[in-house]
Structure 1
Amino acid sequence: MDTSPTDTLPPPARQPGRTRPGDRIFLGLSRGSGILLLALMAAIAVFLTVRAVHAISLDHGNFLTTYEWNANANPPVFGIAVLAYGTVVSSVIAMIIAVPVSVGIALFITHYAPRRLTTPLAYLIDLLAAVPSIVYGLWGALFLVPHLQGLNLWLNDYLGWTGVFHKSDPASAARSLFTVGVLLAIMIVPIITNVSREVFRQVPRAHEEAALALGATRWEVVRTAVLPFARSGIISASMLGLGRALGETMAVATVLSASPVLTLRLLDPAGGTFAQNIAAKFSEAGDFGRDALIASGLVLFVITLLVNGAARLIIARRREYSGAAA
């Protein structure tokens, strides 16, 4: 065997302070992409703010507390009280329903389902995530609204004493914020499930095997090894779903009977959301009316930023649960 000195020489050491051209190009592209994203966000914020300030300055109502939206009147009177309430309430209902269901589906696919069912179930979830929102809206108006009438009557009979589930007119259609929340929950379940499923797959196998070796049951493995590791990922998945719920337009506009009424009764056909109001009023709005709608869009923009910022703070404070090394 030929062992010449050249075969045993170590590779030449890279000089300190120098990087490869490919690394410099990748670093420049990554930095440029981040700066471009920040510039786009800033441009959107400036555009919304300029148009919103013009509309709010001519509003003869209180923009934050007025229930009515009549930007085409003379003088114009409009406010976001009903829209903000409807957007937040419908999104909260959707999250309360969707997050536990999505996490349960993701756990079943990754830890409980037989191998022959895992791929078809995952494929079905992917298909649900690809369904257009207008299709969900038509399905909600033609199928979900009639079939929720019985549930509404049941809630009114047994939980109506709370006031929240009291229905003023039991014979009215189920075109309410509660129905919107159920529909939004169905729409965001695939998003939260897909992200949670991928996070659960990243759990180190050694953690699960160690728990099993200590005599833990399958549920104890999930509770002590899987969920703590995936907690930050579940929060991120939930925020992605919440982002879609906050900005959903066509499905909400198809199902909800909007009215300038703010009520705690979730089963009454009243209320509205930012996105639904913009979609319904944009075609008939003049130049000033569009500025007023842009002002409401600015509020939705700020709410979305606050929600995502809060999610980032939660993840940062619970970094010990992320499973990643600091």
Structure 2
Amino acid sequence: MSAIPAPAVDTTRRDAYADRSFRWLVTAAGMFVLIALAAAALSMLWGGRETFQKFGLGFFTSRAWDPVAQDFGALVPIYGTLVTALIAMIIAVPVSFGIAMFLTEIAPRWLRTPVGTAIELLAGIPSIIYGMWGLFVLVPYLGEHVYPWVDAHLGSVPLIGPLFSGPPLGLGMLTAGLVLAIMVIPFIASVMREVFLTVPGRLKESSYALGSTRWEVVWDVVLPYTRSAVIGGIFLGLGRALGETMAVTFVLGNAHELTTSLLMPGNSIAATIANEFTEADSAQYRSALIALGFVLFLVTFVVLAAARLMLRRLSKREGT
């Protein structure tokens, strides 16, 4: 029986060492994400400990925000964050779906590349540009031409009247939702377009051969095939809408008032932190703002966790 040559043994040992090193390297990269996430959450929790110790769970349900009296509550910013993000998603999801369908099913080939490039360019525009455009262009137009009509015709309608009544200032939660929708549309549309392109052509051709219309192919073939990825892209856009700062700060109005009217100014967690952090002249004030950051972390985490749970249930259902 011949012995293994020394060079071959050295090569085997070197390969085994390289494999172990690579495994530990990628493991460290994966653990770095968890460590960074935990460190960010714990640092904000520690920075806001004075607020949580003083107000307890009442911090989440209080409307108060009085830096002079050192009385703080997170209900108004939480409400503004959720409402503006909800408005943005109500607008952005159908529009993004239409863009993705147009690019993958309807648009001629010579038009798909320019429109797709335009969508990617919109995604790359800084948020402060959207905010300035919203403040100097969208707010005056809505305040002069749109919101007076909305207040006059929808403000007195039963059930939905309280949502659309108020002075036509132009600034408000509805305007912030519109700007957020324009911001997240490129992200959701890009994800939808990419996943729609993964649908095998044979499936669609078979459906067309059986006499299905284009809408039936989209509804019965394309969407079921890409449902999990589409929902994931929607929740990614929602995560961006929840955490957006500068664009919302310009057009939201920055008023700590809890109102049902979408035309009235409001506030969000990110806008409150951006506007008031430099003015925080006391430890309690700074602690309240850092505590708001922790609340935003919790809101985003809960939303994304719900998305993961929904995707897991969908994948189990599709597996059965």
Q: TM tier, shorter chain?
A: 0.7 to 0.9
Partner Cα distance (2:257, 2:279) in 1: 21
- Look up the match of 2:219: 223
The amino acid of 1:147's aligned partner reads Y
SS at match of 2:291: helix
- Look up the match of 1:256: 252
Partner residue of 1:156 out of 147, 151, 168:
151
CA shift at 1:321, angstroms? 7.6
The amino acid of 1:167's aligned partner reads S
Alignment of 1:1-326 (within 5 A): 24-59=20-55, 62-71=58-67, 73-74=68-69, 76-149=70-143, 150-160=145-155, 161=157, 162-169=160-167, 172-269=168-265, 271-286=266-281, 287-319=283-315
Which segments of structure 1 move beyond 4 Å, counting only runs of 4 or more?
19-26
Alignment RMSD: 2.1
Contact 1:83–1:272 (8 Å) recurs in 2: yes
Partner Cα distance (2:86, 2:204) in 1: 33
CA shift at 1:261, angstroms? 1.1
Contact 1:67–1:80 (8 Å) recurs in 2: yes
The amino acid of 1:79's aligned partner reads G
CA shift at 1:24, angstroms? 4.7
Contact 1:65–1:79 (8 Å) recurs in 2: yes
The amino acid of 1:136's aligned partner reads Y
Query: Residues 154-183 of structure 1, C-alpha deviation per residue, up to 9 Å, x if partnerless?
Result: 2222221223333333xx421010110011
Query: Residues 62-83 of structure 1, C-alpha deviation per residue, up to 9 Å, x if partnerless?
Result: 3122223234x35x10001111
The amino acid of 1:117's aligned partner reads L
CA shift at 1:28, angstroms? 3.2
Partner Cα distance (2:210, 2:297) in 1: 49
Give 1 or 2: higher helix fraction: 2
Contact 2:154–2:165 (8 Å) recurs in 1: no
Partner Cα distance (1:321, 1:231) in 2: 12
SS at match of 1:258: coil
Contact 1:94–1:181 (8 Å) recurs in 2: yes
- TM-score of the superposition, structure 1-length normalised? 0.86
Contact 2:169–2:263 (8 Å) recurs in 1: no
Partner Cα distance (1:44, 1:61) in 2: 21
SS at match of 1:282: helix
CA shift at 1:220, angstroms? 1.4
Contact 1:61–1:79 (8 Å) recurs in 2: no
The amino acid of 2:111's aligned partner reads L
Q: How many residues end up aligned between the 2 structures?
A: 301
Cα 1:221–1:296, aligned 2, differ >3 Å: closer, same or farther?
same
Contact 1:60–1:77 (8 Å) recurs in 2: no
The percent of aligned pairs where both chains have the same amino acid is 44
SS at match of 2:58: coil
- Structure 2's unaligned 5+ residue stretches are 1-14
CA shift at 1:104, angstroms? 0.8
The amino acid of 2:161's aligned partner reads G
Query: Residues 270-324 of structure 1, C-alpha deviation per residue, up to 9 Å, x if partnerless?
Result: x2000000000001113332221110111110010000000011111111687xx
Name the stretch that deviates more: 113-122 or 213-222.
213-222
